[in-house]
């Protein structure tokens, strides 16, 4: 039994809006005005199968959790009939464009270089740029406003130089270190990045499996496409110490408490509270991509319904309306009261706040970060903040009270070593692992991690450092770090140099 394609297709407007998700029918008529992503994106799929658009942006348990059971109308009788009806339906210009993009991507994937032809993290970016859907690429690559901080995150590393030691026996180099007590094989971790299924159908579990293979940490995002339990199940056993939770704090603290305590019960080892996003940044590439997918003239439904075009929302803003902008220092004791996990503030952007966090006695660490440039544009690079932070902590005898991490713009082992020399305990890496996942799945992330480890081993050897503990500020020259000579940095390296698709002959042409 079940609902026929014909019956479902008759509920395709604001008065009565049914959608299909993974073979089941849902009446979302009353939910339309509440949808954080606006009504248009739902009405685009009214009366038909919305699964392909729904899955990358929503964890699998979303409808069970948030749509009243009375609106769960049951299974579709015949999905083939639904597909056939959709095939014959007149397509909107946006859908025609989407179909053309699918063809382009299929062609690009056929000509994709093998994963072993990627020799550094930026190579994965070059491949991903070609094989990803525009909306997915826009979401991952975008940053706030003019993307100055995005480029400064890279440029800052290029303003710090090494002072290598010589004649040190570096026959054996050890990359391992400890992060909140857990021994890890290398000083980098997979940082939290939302909507993994935009890049790969298996989403964040690709990152989980590669991190487990390499014994490095994965920070699980609140806004993951996969459910939290799917990711923990993919982490191969509760014993592994390699899962942290990244938290966007919900206005409803009861929801936040449940998320934290469930994560602790499942074996997460640390709680990272994101503090740089009381509202998600204005990422214009993401906003434009969403508008293009929905049609700026509005879909046929929109025109007939006279809906105002809601072009204030990219994917980012659409999924984050629950975040509590009132979160403040006074809330820290409450977090301490609901969990025994180490508490880390992610997105700290000046030394005074690091000192204040350490002095509360409630915080076990910070991540110096400008959110990959996706929040406040012209927020400084984490490397520059690190250079002012560690002396401030040492001057107050606080440098052993908390662990300091950085993220943003790290693409090479030399970037990692500069951060560790300046006192970071470890570094988070975002986009490169997303691009590697989008292009090659688990094997891509695995390759990216192996490449980083190869670079680290070589660079430590050349720097004259046998272990992570051998890294210190005396090995770097930071005199140029705060100078910002190039004003608005241009990242020609990412644009013109790293491209595994070009043969050397083409590159040198």
Q: In angstroms, what is the minimal distance from the CB of 495 to ligand FNS?
A: 16
Cβ atoms 245, 263 nearer than 8 A? yes
| CB-based closest residue to ligand FNS | 430
**Residue of 221, 262, 269 lying closest to 243 (CA atoms):** 269
Q: How far is the CB of 331 from ligand FNS (least distance, A)?
A: 17
Q: Which 3-state string (H, E, C) describes 374-385?
A: CCCCCCCCHHHH
SS3 content of the chain, % helix, strand, coil (to 5): 45, 15, 40
Torsional class of 164: left (φ above 0), alpha (ψ -120 to 50), beta (otherwise): beta
Q: How far is the CB of 413 from ligand FNS (least distance, A)?
A: 14
For 197-251, strand residue ranges (E) read 218-220, 243-247
Distance CA 389, CA 394 (A): 9
Binding residues (CB under 6 A) for ligand FNS: these are 139-140, 153, 191-194, 221, 223, 246, 274, 280, 316, 346, 369, 371-372, 374, 407-410, 428-431
Least distance from ligand FNS to the Cβ atom of residue 390, Å: 19
- The contacts of residue 350 (CB under 8 Å, 6+ apart) are 385, 388
Buried/exposed 350-365: b ≥16 CB within 10 Å, e otherwise: ebebbbebbeeebbbb
Identify which of residues 204 and 470 has a Cβ nearer to ligand FNS in the complex.
204
Please identify, using beta-carbon distances, which residue of 299 and 381 lies nearer to ligand FNS. 381
Closer of 345 and 390 to ligand FNS (Cβ): 345
CB 434, min distance to ligand FNS, A? 6
Q: How many CB atoms lie within 10 A of CB 14?
A: 18
* Least CB distance to ligand FNS at residue 11 (A): 32
Active site residue ranges: 248, 276, 371
Output the DSSP codes for 282-318. --HHHHHHHHHHH-TT--HHHHHHTPPP-TT--HHHH
Query: Please, which residue, 38 or 428, has the CB nearer to ligand FNS?
Result: 428
CB of 222 to ligand FNS, least distance (A): 6
Q: Which is nearer to ligand FNS, 47 or 196 (CB)?
A: 196
Q: CA dist 491 to 151, 282, 479, 488, Å?
A: 6, 21, 21, 10
Go through 426-457 and write b for each residue having 16 or more CB atoms within 10 A of its CB, e for each that does not: bbbbbbbbbbbbbbbbbbbbbbbbebbbebbb
Nearer to ligand FNS, 316 or 343 (CB): 316
CB of 374 to ligand FNS, least distance (A): 5
Based on CB atoms, which residue is closest to ligand FNS, 135 or 408? 408
Q: What does residue 95 show for φ and ψ, rounded to 5 degrees?
A: -70, -35
Shorter beta-carbon distance to ligand FNS: residue 22 or 350: 350
CB burial string 245-265: b at 16+ within 10 A, e below: bbbbbbeeeeebbebbeebbe
Which residues are 250's β-sheet partners? 323
């Amino acid at each position: 039994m079940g609902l026929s394609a014909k019956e479902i297709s008759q509920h395709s407007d604001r008065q009565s809006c049914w959608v299909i998700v993974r073979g089941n029918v849902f009446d979302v008529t009353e939910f339309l005005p509440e949808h954080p992503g606006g009504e248009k994106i739902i009405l685009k799929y009214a009366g038909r199968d919305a699964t392909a658009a729904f899955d990358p942006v929503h964890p699998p348990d979303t409808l069970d959790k948030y749509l009243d059971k009375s609106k769960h109308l049951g299974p579709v009788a015949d999905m083939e009939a639904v597909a056939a009806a959709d095939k014959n339906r007149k397509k909107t210009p946006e859908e025609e464009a989407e179909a053309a993009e699918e063809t382009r991507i299929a062609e690009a994937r056929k000509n994709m270089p093998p994963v072993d032809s990627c020799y550094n993290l930026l190579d994965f970016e070059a491949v991903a740029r070609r094989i990803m859907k525009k909306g997915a690429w826009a979401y991952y690559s975008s940053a706030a406003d003019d993307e100055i901080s995005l480029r400064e995150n890279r440029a800052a590393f290029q303003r710090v130089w090494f002072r290598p030691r010589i004649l040190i026996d570096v026959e054996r180099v050890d990359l391992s270190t400890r992060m909140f007590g857990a021994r890890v094989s290398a000083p980098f971790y997979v940082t939290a990045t939302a909507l993994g299924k935009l890049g790969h159908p298996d989403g964040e579990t690709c990152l989980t499996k590669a991190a487990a293979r390499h014994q490095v940490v994965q920070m699980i995002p609140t806004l993951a496409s996969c459910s939290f339990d799917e990711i923990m199940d993919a982490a191969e056993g509760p014993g592994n110490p390699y899962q942290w939770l990244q938290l966007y704090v919900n206005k409803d603290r009861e929801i936040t408490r449940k998320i934290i305590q469930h994560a602790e019960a499942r074996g997460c080892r640390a709680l990272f509270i994101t503090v740089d996003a009381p509202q998600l940044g204005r990422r214009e590439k993401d906003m434009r991509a969403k508008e293009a997918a929905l049609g700026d003239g509005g879909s046929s439904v929109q025109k007939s319904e006279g809906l105002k075009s809601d072009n204030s929302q990219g994917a980012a803003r659409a999924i984050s309306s629950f975040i509590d902008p009132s979160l403040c220092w006074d809330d820290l004791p409450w977090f301490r009261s609901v969990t025994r996990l180490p508490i880390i503030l992610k997105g700290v952007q000046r030394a005074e706040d690091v000192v204040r966090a350490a002095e509360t006695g409630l915080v076990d660490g910070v991540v110096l970060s400008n959110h990959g440039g996706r929040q406040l544009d012209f927020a400084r690079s984490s490397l520059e903040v690190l250079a002012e932070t560690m002396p401030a902590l040492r001057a107050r005898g606080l440098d052993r009270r908390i662990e300091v991490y950085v993220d943003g713009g790290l693409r090479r082992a030399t970037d990692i070593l500069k951060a560790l020399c300046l006192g970071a305990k470890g570094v988070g890496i975002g986009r490169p692992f997303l691009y590697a996942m989008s292009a090659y799945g688990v094997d891509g992330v695995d390759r990216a991690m192996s490449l980083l480890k190869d670079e680290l081993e070589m660079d430590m050897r050349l720097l004259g450092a046998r272990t992570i503990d051998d890294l210190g500020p005396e090995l770097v020259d930071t005199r140029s770090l705060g100078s910002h000579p190039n004003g608005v940095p241009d990242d020609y390296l990412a644009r013109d140099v790293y491209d595994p698709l070009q043969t050397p002959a083409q590159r040198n042409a």
